[in-house]
């Protein structure tokens, strides 16, 4: 097989957007998605098996059933985007 035959096919269903190293969760370009309010986000994460700890007024730490990995969301908008993308 040639190396090109082994390369994975590109995802052509979504427009390609440049990713920022700070956008580890891949939240860039999710602004057009209908997002739940904060309470709905927290409930949806809980139903999906995530534990959410509010560390500061605009800082949430999200964990699954194990201590790692943990995801830090800064602001309600980022928490809602995480909920839409990960659950």
pLDDT tens readout for residues 71-82: 999 999 899 888
Instruction: Tell me how far apart the alpha carbons of residues 33 and 52 are, in angstroms, rounded to a whole number.
Output: 22
CA atoms within 13 A on the CB side of 38: 11
Enumerate the β-bridge partners of residue 73.
Answer: 60
**Averaged pLDDT score across all residues of the chain:** 76
Between these two residues, 7 and 36, which has the higher pLDDT value?
36
pLDDT tens readout for residues 24-55: 666 666 555 555 788 999 999 999 999 999 99
The pLDDT assigned to 53 comes to: 94
pLDDT band at 11, cuts 50/70/90?
Answer: very low
Phi/psi for 31 (5° steps) reads: -70, -20
Say which residues have a Cβ less than 8 Å from residue 81's Cβ, sequence separation at least 6: 25, 27, 30, 33, 35
pTM over 0.85: no
Instruction: Tell me how far apart the alpha carbons of residues 65 and 27 are, in angstroms, rounded to a whole number.
Output: 22
Check pLDDT > 80 for residue 60: yes
Burial category of 78 from C-beta neighbours within 10 Å (exposed 0-12, middle 13-18, buried 19 and up) = middle
**Cβ atoms of 82 and 62 closer than 8 Å:** yes
């Amino acid at each position: 097989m040639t190396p090109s035959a082994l390369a994975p096919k590109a995802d052509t269903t979504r427009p390609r957007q440049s990713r920022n190293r700070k956008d580890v969760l891949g939240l860039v370009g999710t602004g057009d998605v209908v997002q739940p309010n904060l309470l709905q986000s927290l409930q949806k994460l809980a139903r999906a098996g995530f534990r959410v700890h509010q560390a500061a007024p605009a800082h949430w730490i999200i964990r699954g059933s194990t201590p790692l990995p943990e995801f830090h969301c800064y602001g309600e908008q980022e928490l809602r985007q995480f909920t839409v993308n990960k659950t």
